[in-house]
Structure 1
Amino acid sequence: MSTVENLKIISLDVKDLRFPTSLQSDGSDAMHTDPDYSCAYVTIKIATGLEGYGLTFTLGRGTDIVVQAINSLKPLVVGQVVSDIYKDFASFWRSITSESQLRWIGPEKGVTHLATAAIINALWDLWAKLLKKPVWQLLADLEPEQIVSCIDFRYLSNVITKDEALHLLTQGKFGKEQRMNILLEKGYPCYTTQAGWLGYSDEKIKMLAQKYLDLGFNAFKLKVGRNLKEDIKRLQLVRNIIGWDKTLMVDANQVWEVQEAIDWMKFLAPFKPLWIEEPTSPDDVLGHAQIAKALNPLGIGVATGEMCCNRVLFKQFLQADALQYCQIDSARIGGINEILAVYLMAKKLGVKVCPHAGGVGLCEMVQHLQMWDYVALSGTSEGKWVEFVDQQHEHFLHPAIVENAHYRAPRVPGYSTEIKPEAVKAYEYPNGSEWEDMFSKGIFHDPRKDK
């Protein structure tokens, strides 16, 4: 079946899927007060009929723009032979991110890079299905030379070279089988943000904190940054429930000035937060470095990365010691290929990677990435977690499974990105049945009336 003609990409489809999470303040924080968790959902089909699914996470409005960007990249994808792509994935990745005219509206950032991520994620899902492996195992089984062939090292050589990457990956092979067995038995540790959304009432926060404590979680994250007195009250409330032997993190979602972040966190320091996440602009490397230096004596680290636009910005954060916890996002930068580069730089520079997740499909995807890191690169999960948010998993054919605060290792081939057909029909925007119903009831404005 694996002939050139059978492996040719014959179609690329993209849909705008949105879920009305703003109605319950799910996902709310100091910067994003009314998110509707959404995604641009890509289906790539090859001639055999096999399909790969990929997505990029959004917050509602603007998803249609990402869809347009994906359609603009379609001519670069349809007609390609996937076996040729996988043999030299880095070159294909560069052809998508460096198309001579489209790159002008990036390059390698913003809407075009979100579009790239959705396409690349679908190609990895397809590759894993062709080899009948989950993506984490596909990655773990690739030889170091194959991993390196997936990465575009342009602009990175002053921090990591191909030879250095090969050395790190070769070192990672020692003990790999033992770690894989441990992973399959125990899973990978996670923390939860489910009790920490800023729009939740105190009663809801208490209820959810107790729920996830009872489920075995020992690490919790709260959103902060809108009102200092409220932050202090909420942190005290959660500490009263989870105790002082559990790990607590806080996340400001970019709302502060640099000095404001330092001053604010001094007031929150008595609650022993492990890190402050996104304290200021996600592009401000030197600002993060200043905050990290000021908070180090208080035992508070800086975490960021979910809004880092590409591997070059990650490189600068790592070079400047501006983060102690590197938060890759499966859909913000250009898919797995670019994320591999970030993991390798973090490994070389001794920085812990703790992936951002929670949005539509993010938990499903990042579990694979962190499991590969544990099995084949860093070799440890100590002091590291994957974020877990318990939303929208029911819409996935093979959702992330968490037991006793550990992600269970996926066993089904692919990237865990396939959404159930009935969910696509219900939540495609604006014509899905759920949206039609909410428009008719006046819950949301129908944008079709504006045309």
Structure 2
Amino acid sequence: MEEVPLRITGVQTHDLRFPTSLQLDGSDAVHTDPDYSAALVILETNTELQGHGTTFTIGRGNEIVCECVKALQFLVVGKTLDSIVDNFGKFWDNMVNESQLRWIGPQKGVSHLATAALVNAIWDLWARRERKPVWRLLCDMTPQQLVNVMDFRYISDVLTKEEALDMLTIDPDVQKEREETMLKDGYPAYTTAAGWLGYKDEKIRVLCRQYLDAGWDEFKIKVGQDLADDRRRLQVVRETIGPERNLMVDANQRWDVPEAIYWMKELSEFRPLWIEEPTSPDDILGHAQIAKALAPYGIGVATGEMCQNKVMFKQFLQAGGMQFCQVDSCRLGGINEILPVYLMAHKLNVPVCPHAGGICLNEMVQHLQVFDYVRVSGSTENRRIEYVSHLSEHLETPAVCRGARYFPPQEPGYSCRFRPEALSAFRFPDGTEWKRLIRAGLARNTRAD
């Protein structure tokens, strides 16, 4: 009997929000009271299999992403999985260039966040059908299959299909050795959990000590609101972690270009490895100017979590505007757009250190970074993945991080499935936890949506 093709029959969306603003978890110089949120997409099929995907926001506006997913769903409902993935690059190109919806992008903003959620769900569905985690699905693909999921429009002046094929061709014995290394040793991680801007000095000190005791040796601290305050907080961190461990700082787009250069020169005595998002995430030449000015101080520029598409990444890399490439699993339009960024960064010798920490981001970027090690870079030198553990308890298969190392997931899919009780408690605004907070007058960021 002929097997019935797996077909997508419907799309669910869920506006999930977690009240992180109550403890100022996630706070920085610009986003002072975030409620970490997920626009969750569930692809229904003609079988028991589902595909789960998500994109990350920080509260208000999450509902707009969900509505945009609904506007895009006609592009996937009714299609078989094979009809999508057999020429995934073409499908992706058609999706982001739909003749009317592209006008509210193109390939940026809310429409691209919604695209990421849908595309992430397709990858999750595909991996589950193949009974593999996404990283292994990627690693098991041939160079031609990998190239077929990518779209090279607008980037062929830096990366051609032929170059991509060459980069992705690897000796099977070498690939097997790299996979075994990842499974045995894991991937290096750093923590941001001790450095949120709203935390008091003593809390920072206590958290740094806790992470040191757990084996962590790289710490990222938020900066940017007040120079004297930053100096004091960085002094607390340096005194606690010692002079040899890596310290990174993150301004979350707070400064103008001259201000960023001045501010970081003032903080250079604390020897930060990088300054993250020092200015507008769209200012490619401004980042390049900052990078040039700070190079004599040994401070690199890291950016990318709000870089809107592969074209901007191409230009950041060309201009020398990033010394650390911070892809985000949800800001770009899913894996199809992320893979060519990895290849461009590899060609131009810029290490990829993905943005994570937000709800589900740890879980998704671990797949990407393991793939990069196995099939592209073969190195963890000067590379690391961000890690923040809070909210991981709401996921079915949270990232496993031991001794400051991510260990590759073994369960099928893209690791972004929420526990059923998380959906019932944190769906906004009618989840049980939100109803409780609103009744108690504790919900800081609610309004009549």
| Both proteins in one fold, TM over 0.5 | yes
Q: Partners of 2:314 and 2:340 in 1: how far apart?
A: 9
What residue is the counterpart of 1:213 in the other structure? 212
Q: Is 1:63–2:69 an aligned residue pair? A: no
Q: Partners of 1:364 and 1:164 in 2: how far apart?
A: 29
Change in Cα spacing, 1:447 to 1:351, as seen in structure 2 (3 Å) is closer
Which blocks of at least 5 consecutive residues in structure 2 are unaligned? Answer: none
Deviations 1:119-173 (A, max 9, x none): 0001111111111111111111111111100001000010000000001111475
Count of aligned pairs between the two proteins: 449
What residue is the counterpart of 2:175 in the other structure? 176
Deviations 1:165-184 (A, max 9, x none): 00111147561110100110
**Quick check: 2:22–2:444 contact (8 Å CA) kept in 1?**
no
Q: Map 1:269-288 to 2 at 5 A.
A: 269-288=268-287
**Quick check: 2:325–2:353 contact (8 Å CA) kept in 1?**
yes
What residue is the counterpart of 2:36 in the other structure? 37
Q: Partners of 2:53 and 2:36 in 1: how far apart?
A: 16
Q: Partners of 2:445 and 2:344 in 1: how far apart?
A: 46
Q: Provide the secondary structure at the position in 2 that maps to 1:178.
A: helix
Q: Partners of 1:430 and 1:445 in 2: how far apart?
A: 13
**Quick check: 2:34–2:59 contact (8 Å CA) kept in 1?**
yes
**Displacement after TM superposition at 1:409 (Å):** 1.0
Q: Partners of 2:114 and 2:2 in 1: how far apart?
A: 28
Q: Provide the secondary structure at the position in 2 that maps to 1:158.
A: coil
Q: Partners of 1:19 and 1:102 in 2: how far apart?
A: 30
Deviations 1:95-128 (A, max 9, x none): 2111100000000000000000000001111111
**Quick check: 1:192–1:220 contact (8 Å CA) kept in 2?**
yes
Deviations 1:323-370 (A, max 9, x none): 000000000010011000100100111100000001110000000000
Q: Is 1:151–2:146 an aligned residue pair? A: no
What residue is the counterpart of 2:381 in the other structure? 382
What residue is the counterpart of 2:443 in the other structure? 444
TM-score normalised according to structure 1 size: 0.98
**Displacement after TM superposition at 1:94 (Å):** 1.3
What residue is the counterpart of 2:45 in the other structure? 46
Q: Partners of 1:365 and 1:447 in 2: how far apart?
A: 28
What residue is the counterpart of 1:10 in the other structure? 9
Q: Map 1:94-109 to 2 at 5 A.
A: 94-109=93-108
Change in Cα spacing, 1:173 to 1:196, as seen in structure 2 (3 Å) is farther
What residue is the counterpart of 1:362 in the other structure? 361
Q: Map 1:267-306 to 2 at 5 A.
A: 267-306=266-305
Deviations 1:371-429 (A, max 9, x none): 10001110001111000011110000000011000011100011101100110000000
Deviations 1:36-88 (A, max 9, x none): 00010000122112011100000000000000000000111110110111110
Q: Partners of 2:138 and 2:2 in 1: how far apart?
A: 21
Q: Partners of 1:95 and 1:442 in 2: how far apart?
A: 46
Q: Is 1:238–2:240 an aligned residue pair? A: no
Q: Partners of 2:102 and 2:2 in 1: how far apart?
A: 33
What residue is the counterpart of 1:26 in the other structure? 25
**Displacement after TM superposition at 1:15 (Å):** 0.4
Q: Is 1:260–2:273 an aligned residue pair? A: no
Q: Map 1:332-351 to 2 at 5 A.
A: 332-351=331-350
Instruction: List structure 1 runs of 4+ shifted beyond 2 angstroms.
Output: 171-174, 444-448
Q: Provide the secondary structure at the position in 2 that maps to 1:352.
A: coil
**Quick check: 1:324–1:351 contact (8 Å CA) kept in 2?**
yes
TM-score normalised according to structure 2 size: 0.98
Q: Partners of 1:201 and 1:373 in 2: how far apart?
A: 37
Partner amino acid, structure 2, of 1:329 = D
Q: Partners of 2:407 and 2:232 in 1: how far apart?
A: 34
What residue is the counterpart of 1:200 in the other structure? 199
Partner amino acid, structure 2, of 1:202 = D
**Quick check: 1:20–1:37 contact (8 Å CA) kept in 2?**
yes
Q: Partners of 1:373 and 1:222 in 2: how far apart?
A: 26
Q: Provide the secondary structure at the position in 2 that maps to 1:377.
A: helix
Change in Cα spacing, 1:260 to 1:174, as seen in structure 2 (3 Å) is farther
Q: Provide the secondary structure at the position in 1 that maps to 2:314.
A: helix
Q: Partners of 1:176 and 1:231 in 2: how far apart?
A: 44
Q: Partners of 2:219 and 2:444 in 1: how far apart?
A: 35
Identical-pair percentage: 57
Q: Provide the secondary structure at the position in 1 that maps to 2:39.
A: strand
Q: Partners of 2:368 and 2:63 in 1: how far apart?
A: 27
Partner amino acid, structure 2, of 1:170 = T
**Displacement after TM superposition at 1:444 (Å):** 2.3
**Quick check: 1:173–1:376 contact (8 Å CA) kept in 2?**
no
**Quick check: 2:249–2:274 contact (8 Å CA) kept in 1?**
yes
What residue is the counterpart of 1:326 in the other structure? 325
Partner amino acid, structure 1, of 2:230 = D
Q: Is 1:247–2:219 an aligned residue pair? A: no
Q: Provide the secondary structure at the position in 2 that maps to 1:54.
A: strand
Partner amino acid, structure 1, of 2:235 = Q
Partner amino acid, structure 2, of 1:43 = I
Partner amino acid, structure 1, of 2:78 = G
Moved more, 24-33 or 237-246: 237-246
Partner amino acid, structure 2, of 1:158 = D
**Quick check: 1:17–1:428 contact (8 Å CA) kept in 2?**
yes
Q: Partners of 1:302 and 1:157 in 2: how far apart?
A: 25
What residue is the counterpart of 2:429 in the other structure? 430
**Quick check: 2:168–2:376 contact (8 Å CA) kept in 1?**
yes
**Quick check: 1:400–1:410 contact (8 Å CA) kept in 2?**
yes
Q: Partners of 2:298 and 2:244 in 1: how far apart?
A: 15
Partner amino acid, structure 2, of 1:377 = V
